[in-house]
């Protein structure tokens, strides 16, 4: 069950998890920092951590959350439903697998197949699997022509 109550209601998640067992509880795409995740984990309130890499404050915060999840043996399944999130979270999942959890068990990454054409290095999926990017960086550089087209309020896309 995903996000069964307010994302910062730690005790609510814990109670729902206890009473809904064996149904697993997932949350995190609206959690903004490692402290809330720490409290969710300490309260045994979740079974799956759904990290949103754009909502938390940068790479270091993302890595701290991955390490917390590993400490509590909770799988991380990054939220990737928005523009550019697939590009962001692929790196986190690769890092989690290669350097933290070393496991693919109970791990998935959402994939939404839209708007990748606006990125210089878009996500590549083959046979249902994210492919490791072959360019340096975080894969989120937006093409200059897309920025110009959709820049608000002066981009051509906003003209009536």
pLDDT in tens, 39-98: 999 999 999 999 998 899 888 999 999 999 999 999 999 998 778 889 988 888 899 999
In the predicted structure, residue 37 carries a pLDDT above the cut 90: yes
pLDDT of residue 154: 92
Using 50, 70 and 90 to split pLDDT, how confident is the model at 8? confident
Burial class (CB in 10 A: 0-12, 13-18, 19+), 102: exposed
Q: Return the structure tokens found at 105.
A: 């068990």
pLDDT of residue 35: 96
Q: 38: Cβ–Cβ under 8 A, 6 or more apart, which residues? A: 68
Separation between Cα atoms, residue 118 and residue 148, nearest integer Å: 11
Separation between Cα atoms, residue 16 and residue 21, nearest integer Å: 8
Express as a percent the part of the chain with pLDDT over 70: 100
Instruction: Please answer whether residues 146 and 123 qualify as being in contact, where contact means their C-beta atoms are separated by less than 8 angstroms.
Output: no
Other Cβ atoms less than 10 A from the Cβ of 34: the count is 21
Domain boundaries, the chain: 10-117
Record: fold of 10-117 = TIM Barrel (3.20.20)
The DSSP code for 136 is S
pLDDT of residue 41: 98
The pTM assigned to this predicted structure is: 0.88
Q: Return the structure tokens found at 7.
A: 């994302």
pLDDT of residue 122: 94
Q: What is the mean pLDDT of the chain?
A: 92
Separation between Cα atoms, residue 47 and residue 41, nearest integer Å: 9
Using 50, 70 and 90 to split pLDDT, how confident is the model at 1? very high
């Amino acid at each position: 069950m995903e996000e069964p109550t307010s994302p910062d209601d730690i005790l609510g998640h814990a109670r729902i998890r206890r009473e809904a067992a064996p149904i697993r509880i997932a949350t995190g795409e609206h959690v903004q920092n490692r402290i809330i995740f720490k409290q969710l984990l300490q309260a045994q309130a979740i079974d799956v951590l759904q990290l949103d890499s754009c909502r938390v404050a940068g790479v270091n915060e993302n890595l701290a959350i991955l390490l917390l999840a590993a400490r509590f043996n909770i799988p991380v399944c990054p939220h990737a439903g928005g523009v550019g999130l697939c590009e962001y979270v692929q790196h986190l999942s690769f890092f989690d697998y290669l350097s933290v959890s070393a496991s693919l068990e109970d791990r998935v990454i959402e994939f939404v197949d839209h708007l990748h054409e606006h990125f210089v290095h878009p996500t590549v999926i083959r046979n249902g699997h994210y492919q490791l990017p072959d360019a340096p960086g975080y894969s989120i550089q937006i093409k200059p022509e897309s920025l110009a087209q959709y820049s608000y309020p002066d981009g051509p896309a906003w003209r009536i």
